[in-house]
Amino acid sequence: MSDLSRLILSNLAYNDSFSRKVSPFLSDEYFESKTDKVVYKILSDFIKEYNVTPTKDAILICLDKVDELNEDSFKSCKDLVDTLHVDDKTDQEWLVKETETYCKERSIYNAIMESIHIIDGKSKSKTENAIPSILSDALAVSFDAHIGHDYIEDCEERYDFYNEVETKVGFDLDYMNRITGGGTPQKTLNIVMAGTGVGKSLFLCHHAAACLSQNQNVLYITCEMAEERIAERIDANLFDMPIDEISDLPKEMYKSKLKKISDHVKGKLIIKEYPTASAGSTHFRNLLDELWLKRKFKPDIIFIDYLNICTSSRLKNNGAVNSYTFVKAIAEELRGLAIEKNVPIFSATQVNRSGFNNSDMGLEDTSESFGLPQTADLMFALISTEELEEREQIMVKQLKNRYNDPAKNRKFVLGINRGKMKLYDVDLEEQHGIVNSNQTNQETAASGYDISFNDKFKKSDLSAWK
């Protein structure tokens, strides 16, 4: 038994303050010998049941009740209990830090040994694909002492939070920044809804290209198109050229264009393809762990194209589970992944049959599950009509917004170049006349003072553009 493990067990037994700080994070796996494990288990069970540290007599009585010990093991455990004592001069902060370090080292050691066991083919339940997750969990061991926010005592911390600048991933589109207050925050799920062929993937590809141009690390997961097709769309966007002309570029010219981009962009874009309906949050989590271990790549934003053709990590898509429950589970798992990895996630969903030809979609037009809009932080619809197509525009309608007032800028239009896979801001006059939009004036939006477009233009000038 090491001196440190004996010191930890001694203070766990007889130091109430130390025990309350570290006992939630300790495990019998961190102790090497069977004797240590048995004594730790007695101490841990006693503290959990009675919420106090035991006396020596209490420990010995509990030890006497352990059935699986032979005479030698019992004597070894009793001898250990006899040696446990606390030195009042020991610095408590140092002791907690040393205990945390000890647990981390033991956790990493155990993870390595388990990985070797898997590689040698001795594990019946785990494959080599589990190794990145095992190592990642071991490296994440820490003593997080925070157990909640005290409304009175933590008021200064709360005030600092109110005045802290929130990290957001911005858009290159003015009105998208307006409705999100400057971009999408971390730990959020954001959903684009549209009919087939309207522009869901185009929006996701455009925003991915824009984030890359802003030196963000971008992960694009596709469950629909091949990796190369997604890359081709992003090529068209960043090269500013029609997608059907890219294949005609001479190789040297193609490489030259790509070099110009790489010279000015510090971020990375990784595109990963999964077969339709075969991957879910667990697969994406393992991918993130592998990207970090193998490439030191950590995304600032994740795109998943698209949510409805992912699979749930908790539920099987069979006759026993309806679409509402299944899609809601996928949405909850993706939002949980966003929180865990501290990134915004963008995905998309289809409209239902009634919403397919609807020029003014609502949340009720969400396909398969109303549980999706219940889970999402931001949800907006892309609407295309013949009139909008003629103008080379697409309309955006807010459906749900946890970042801002969804009644402001409820509807607006963006320019769209489908050949180049691009979206762009249109002139202010192009927004003129959108019914029930409650748009903000461009000059005053930055200051936070909003003016309805109906105040700026005479009502006689407004068209009934729905």
What are the residues whose beta carbons fall under 8 Å from the beta carbon of 418, sequence distance 6 or more? 199, 202
Question: Quick check: is 150 in a domain?
Answer: no
What confidence score (pLDDT) does residue 203 get?
Answer: 96
Report the domain count for the chain: 2
Sign (positive or negative) of CA dihedral 270, 271, 275, 277: positive
Averages of pLDDT over runs of 10 residues in the chain (466 residues) are: 84 91 88 92 92 92 90 92 90 90 91 92 86 83 75 88 85 94 94 92 96 96 93 95 94 94 92 93 92 93 93 77 88 94 94 74 82 92 91 94 91 94 90 70 42 33 33
Separation between Cα atoms, residue 296 and residue 343, nearest integer Å: 16
Residue 346's domain comprises 168-426
What are the residues whose beta carbons fall under 8 Å from the beta carbon of 87, sequence distance 6 or more? none
Q: What CATH number corresponds to the domain at position 100?
A: 1.10.860.10
Question: Quick check: is 441 in a domain?
Answer: no
277 and 417, same domain (yes or no): yes
Q: Is 74 exposed, middle or buried (0-12, 13-18, 19+ CB in 10 A)?
A: middle
104 and 12, same domain (yes or no): yes
Which residue in 237, 129, 265 sits closest to 173, CA to CA?
A: 237
110 and 229, same domain (yes or no): no
Our separate counts of H helices and E strands in the chain read: 18, 11
What confidence score (pLDDT) does residue 51 get?
Answer: 87
77 and 209, same domain (yes or no): no
Separation between Cα atoms, residue 344 and residue 168, nearest integer Å: 8
197 and 327, same domain (yes or no): yes
Question: Quick check: is 466 in a domain?
Answer: no
AA identity, residue 436: N
- Give the tokens for residue 437: 């939009």
**Do 314 and 333 contact (CB within 8 A), yes or no?**
yes
